[in-house]
Amino acid sequence: MTASILITGASSGLGAALAEAYAEPGALLFLGGRDADRLHSVAAACRMRGADVHAQTVDVTDRESTERWVLSAEDEKPLTLVIANAGISGGTGNKMGETAEQARAIFACNLDGVLNTVLPAIPKMQARKSGQIALMASLAGFRGMPGAPAYCASKAAVRVWGEGMRGWLKRDGIGVTVVCPGFVETAMTAKNKFPMPFLMGAAQAAAIMKKGIDANKARVAYPWQTSALTWLLAALPPAWTDGLLTKAPGK
């Protein structure tokens, strides 16, 4: 079956890298993003790789327009893979965490945006007993960080929801993969004013994600060094880690 893939947040960062990773002759890509100029540049790069590309400016926080876009893609060609990638952070480096406006915007994009993208596609996939869904969480979703509480919480919600949905949708022949990246070279991480251990290039990260998604892995967490550190922080009692984390820089 020819791949029909929908990707949100495809105008930059991991979304753009994933679009290029999946671009190949015979593939049909539905790429959504908020920046029209960057989105069309990504679409052009994917066409150069042989893919058929439909690019659409989309704000995933708008439930109705996102649903219309997803269903129009389904009508064009039944989706084999939906990657809910779009996400934002506060990006201020403020140790006191995000502002009230930033917190609401982060949840609207990172959590509601994922639901707005995925939920319209699920009944279609259930009807044909096939499909794959990939949700962009983060290693930051394993432990709340004082400098980015809303970002961490939004990614934790995506991760846990995806883990539950994987078991629920398995009976319908639908795979669900939760992706938990560490630090990757993107416009989002470029705003960080602190050292980022094991920083990885976007193309390398996309290759890791694609391999895991194509294999229907439950979780794709990388790089392993950052994953191990994150899991350790999450496992330790808060009384042991709170003092250390309060000194960490904001996102």
Pick the residue with more confidence: 198 or 213?
213
Closest CA to 190 of 87, 89, 101, 42: 89
- Band the pLDDT of 177: cuts 50, 70, 90: very high
Q: Which residue has the higher pLDDT, 232 or 165?
A: 165
CA distances from 124 to 7, 51, 70 (A): 17, 23, 11
Percent of the chain whose pLDDT exceeds 70: 80
Best CA proximity match to 81, nearest among 170, 169, 162, 5: 5
pLDDT digits (tens, 9 = 90+) for 216-227: 999 999 876 776
pLDDT of 163 > 90? The answer is yes
End-to-end CA distance of the chain: 41
23 or 195: which carries more pLDDT confidence? 23
pLDDT tops 60 at residue 194: no
**22 part of the active site:** no
| Predicted pLDDT of residue 92 | 47
Can you give the pTM of this predicted structure? 0.88
Look at residues 178, 118, 15 and name the one whose alpha carbon lies nearest to residue 29. 15
Residues 6+ apart with CB under 8 A from 213: 81, 83, 132, 134, 177, 179, 220
Model pLDDT, residue 198: 58
CA 137, distance to chain mean position in Å, is 6
Determine the Cα–Cα distance for residues 6 and 120; give it in Å rounded to an integer.
Answer: 12
Going along the chain from its start, the domains and CATH numbers come out as 4-245 (3.40.50.720)
Which contacts of 63-67 are long-range, i.e. CB under 8 A and separated by 24 or more positions?
Answer: 63/112, 63/116, 66/32, 66/113, 66/116, 66/117, 66/120, 67/116, 67/119, 67/120
Strand order in the sheet with 175-181: 52-57, 28-33, 4-7, 81-84, 132-136, 175-181, 219-222
Residue 77 confidence (pLDDT): 97
CA-to-CA distance for 96 and 83, rounded, in angstroms? 32
Q: What is the pLDDT of residue 199?
A: 66
Q: Which of 151, 161, 183, 222 is catalytic?
A: 151
**Residue 139 per-residue DSSP state:** G
Q: Tens digits of per-residue pLDDT, 65-104?
A: 999 999 999 999 999 999 999 999 876 444 556 899 999 9
122 within 8 A of 73, measured Cβ to Cβ:
no
pLDDT band at residue 43 using 50, 70 and 90 as cut-offs: very high
pLDDT in tens, 102-148: 999 999 999 999 999 999 999 999 999 999 999 999 998 888 787 88
Q: Mean per-residue pLDDT for 181-209?
A: 69
